Amino acid sequence: MKEKTAFEEDLKKLQKIVEELSSGKITLGESLKKYEEGVKIAQACSLTLAEAQRKVELLMKKDGKLSLEKFDDAEIDEK
């Protein structure tokens, strides 16, 4: 999924920004720009991790054809 690869790339980007910023080798203007970018990425990543969406599906196979069905995991909690 796009979202997911974006997440790993974002993490890498964020790490690079942190390293650049802590090296102290860039100008104040650049630092501020990087800082802003870093904060945005960090927020986006945290949001992705904390996302409250969830799907539990059942993969079915009929005559060699795969299909997805909703899986009700509510009953699982009760057991």
Partner 1 sequence: MPEVSKLKSNGLASTGQRDQHIYTVSEITQVIKGLLEEKVGEIWLEGEISNFKAATSGHFYFSLKDQGALILAAMFAHANKSLKFNLEDGQKVICFGKVDVYGPRGQYQIIVERIEPKGVGAQQLAFEQLKKKLNQEGLFDAGHKKPLPQMPFAVGIVTSSKGAAVRDILQILKKGAYGVDVILRSVRVQGEPAANEIASAIADLNSLKHLDLIIVSRGGGSTEDLWSFNEEIVVRAIYNSRLPVISAVGHQINTTLSDLAADVFVETPSAAAKMIVDKKNALLAQLSEFRYQLDFSINSTISDLKNRLTAFTHMLKSPRDHLLEKQQQIDELFSGLNYNIRHALELAQQRESGLIQRLEALSPLAILSRGYSLSVLLPQGAILKDAGMIKPGDKLKTVLAKGAFTSLVQEVFRDERKNSV
63 vs 77, beta carbon nearer partner 1: 77
Instruction: Say how far apart CA 12 and CA 10 lie, in whole Å.
Output: 5
- Distance, C-alpha 14 to centroid of its chain: 13
Closest CA to 41 of 67, 15, 63: 15
In whole angstroms, the minimum distance from the beta carbon of 63 to partner 1 comes to 13
List contacts with partner 1 (CB under 8 A): 1, 3-4, 7-8, 11, 14-15, 17-18, 21-22, 24, 28, 31-32, 35, 38-39, 42, 45-46, 48-59, 61, 66, 68, 71, 73, 76-77, 79
